[in-house]
Structure 1
């Protein structure tokens, strides 16, 4: 049996030592199994538990269970787990106290003003995590409007939930970040995004065939829009939430860098190795690529000039994003016009009019 029904340990203790005693005799060797039971403290997050076996040698009356405590340096309220004794061997029996509770408290040496505030509001930092520890949590959020927070859900939340329900359920099947340190989630997510991109590309190509659009025109319109609209919303969120424009503009340049360097480099590497092994020549005709890149470069210079002007001129409020109302909308319209020029001129060239 355990010495007492409860133990109090600090989060920074390292390992909790829980004594198990043998009473009413010490002759012979006996064994007893033990296991941890998750409560508000979870195995792998707050402590390293599991199962084990205690062996009491002849004349031995006390053994210790050592449970490593994980110190995440995060202020949070007290949490607890339980340890249970079961399945004794060697003629022994389980005593009256067969289960004990281990309460993990914040170490006063690491507390600060924030932790005291959180304790006063009875908040648990793990309840505010963006990701989930289990598949069940992800699927529940995907099935519910606004992740289950119905009280704060707006009408638009219900509309978006209806429109994206299928995608939410599909991507809820991706492994949670808690598995394998997040690496499994990372690689499976990359694979899912690649598969989705392939589907979007094929659907756009089929649509282009149906309406008799040239492949080059389909690529710079429907395919480009389908892959870039998520970047648009991400840049908008970064622009409204950040003090500087770095994240908003950097998100776009970073995304395009991945598209050009990795999105082209990796397929070309695979194709080159394939043709090398088979003794064939890997050759892709440039087509209108030179014209499109030259046109894009010229329009990009105009865009960069606009950003420089917005940064330096008082009329723009010396802000690359936002600023006074009229210059702000004028800058947006100017960039949209540049995009339309690129699409129209590239389309005319693809159809032989230029």
Structure 2
């Protein structure tokens, strides 16, 4: 017998096992021990496979029978061959590793006992928000269970310096404790809207200064500025969640909001305004049709890659072996470069449709 990786990986989720099961006379059941690596996860659902090989007889007499021709066998030897061990109809089984019910129930009871405020990730005052904005985050945990906090790394200091302006800016947003979080929600939406408008205007002026068309600026600078937060959100979801649903769904969901809600609401308001004044709201399509065609074509390739990654060798849409992981990242990055190149060439009239 031997174990085989599924979504569970040897060394990370379980201990790889292989060997032989020896059945003595009158024995009909044996147990294969498989070590499970504890992770103390609140949610866990991975699987592995156990495969049985062809049975072997540890009997010199039986081995001699196998070397004889059928016409040389006696009646007793024929009966012995009929009773030799054979592999059953199900030589391969799947084993699911689930989270510990005791551990999960313990966490649920602690949360229920202490209340939601004990596990709240929000702050309760402006002072706490500004303190967190100025303070460099440490590498380790701060609680007793996480051990002593480690000193911030050099990369942590660099990121803190680069983002301290935005941290302080968003520290002015009212804490979530006020008005049941609604004040925080609408304030954050307002700040995000203002920043989006600033990014769009700055990118447009930058493109005008260096002689780049607005369509190229939109798919380069503006798109990167609006998509980087979604990228980091997907990264956090990929690390913390047991499945890739939230990570991949965040990409499609954020783009749906940008297209249907962001553009739709703005265009609806503009159309109503122009109609109220007796005018028509007309937006030239430009190279939108070509860009959408290229995007949809590359989206089919991206979806095909996600489906291929569901094979047993990889195990899922995200992660997997290091080589496959970096190869997939390079492929997706290449799709973006192809889209950017083709759309830019079409915008400048180098290629025609």
Pairwise TM-score range, normalised by the shorter structure? 0.5 to 0.7
Distance 1:276 1:164 in 2: 43
Distance 1:352 1:179, change over 3 A: same
Distance 1:165 1:326 in 2: 35
Question: Who is 2:74 aligned against?
Answer: none
Question: Who is 1:198 aligned against?
Answer: 197
Question: Who is 1:216 aligned against?
Answer: 215
Gaps of 5+ in 1: 1-111
**1:327 matches 2:310:** no
Distance 1:113 1:284 in 2: 58
Gaps of 5+ in 2: 1-104, 143-147
Residue aligned with 1:145, SS: coil
Displacement after TM superposition at 1:235 (Å): 1.1
Aligned 8 A contact 2:175 2:181 in 1: yes
Distance 1:117 1:292 in 2: 52
Distance 2:317 2:173 in 1: 38
Distance 1:115 1:247 in 2: 22
Residue aligned with 2:309, SS: helix
**1:141 matches 2:138:** no
Question: Who is 1:152 aligned against?
Answer: 150
Distance 1:253 1:207 in 2: 29
Aligned 8 A contact 1:239 1:247 in 2: yes
Aligned 8 A contact 2:207 2:217 in 1: yes
Question: Who is 2:261 aligned against?
Answer: 262
Aligned 8 A contact 2:136 2:152 in 1: no
Aligned 8 A contact 2:173 2:188 in 1: yes
Question: Who is 2:162 aligned against?
Answer: 163
Residue aligned with 1:320, SS: coil
Aligned 8 A contact 2:298 2:335 in 1: yes
Aligned 8 A contact 1:145 1:153 in 2: no
Question: Who is 2:287 aligned against?
Answer: 288
Number of residue equivalences? 237
Distance 1:292 1:256 in 2: 15
Question: Who is 2:236 aligned against?
Answer: 237
* Higher-strand-fraction structure: 1
Question: Who is 1:346 aligned against?
Answer: 343
Q: 1:1-354, aligned counterparts within 5 Å?
A: 126=117, 128-146=119-137, 151-155=149-153, 156-311=155-310, 313-315=311-313, 317-354=314-351
Distance 1:116 1:302 in 2: 45
Distance 1:314 1:171 in 2: 44
Distance 1:194 1:114, change over 3 A: closer
Distance 1:235 1:245 in 2: 9
Distance 1:348 1:332, change over 3 A: same
Residue aligned with 1:285, SS: coil
Distance 2:320 2:168 in 1: 40
Question: Who is 2:25 aligned against?
Answer: none
Q: What's the TM-score once normalised by structure 2's chain length? A: 0.62
Distance 1:201 1:178 in 2: 32
